[in-house]
Amino acid sequence: MTNGPTRRTILIATGATGAAALVASCGDSGGTGDSAPSLSPGQELATTSDIPVGGGTIFKNEEVVVTQPKDGEFKAFSAICTHQRCTVANVSDGTINCTCHGSKFNITDGSVANPPATRPLPEKKITVDGNSIRLA
């Protein structure tokens, strides 16, 4: 009687050829990223002369609207309508206006002047330094 020979199967784990894993990536990493929608804090957004007294200016790329309710008094709000997130379209007659569905917001405090929006435009912090308006 013979027990069958013990068979040993030797698995030789051959290391995958290591060189294949080395993928050189292109070293061009100096992008400027200038298409970013938001402005860095401290960067100049506008000069005071860009903002009409009793009105405002919309900065679509930065998603900010800056108003000047009274001479020398500047405010900034999100330019994204709180109704369904359209970018507000214009500023006239003391209101920031969204033409998607007709909402209006007061230039003094962003509060709703006309529905369907029910929530005010969030205020953004700015600093006015000389004639430079910067996001704080």
133 counts as binding ligand FES under rule CB under 6 A: no
Name the residue nearer to ligand FES (CB basis): 98 or 133.
98
Question: At closest approach, how far in Å is the CB of 76 from ligand FES?
Answer: 18
63 counts as binding ligand FES under rule CB under 6 A: no
In sign, the C-alpha dihedral spanning 29, 32, 34, 36 is positive
86 counts as binding ligand FES under rule CB under 6 A: yes
| Residues 6 or more apart whose Cβ sits within 8 Å of residue 49 | 131
Closest CA to 89 of 105, 76, 75, 73: 105
119 counts as binding ligand FES under rule CB under 6 A: no
Residue 47 one-letter amino acid: T
First vs last Cα of the chain: how many Å apart? 91
91 counts as binding ligand FES under rule CB under 6 A: no
Buried-exposed string 30-53: b where 16+ CB fall within 10 A, e elsewhere: eeeeeeeeebeeeeebbebeebee
106 counts as binding ligand FES under rule CB under 6 A: no
Sole binder of ligand FES in the list 53, 101, 129, 136 (CB under 6 A): 101
117 counts as binding ligand FES under rule CB under 6 A: yes
Question: At closest approach, how far in Å is the CB of 96 from ligand FES?
Answer: 10
Residue 66 one-letter amino acid: V
Where does this chain bind ligand FES (CB under 6 A)? 81, 83-84, 86, 98, 100-103, 116-117
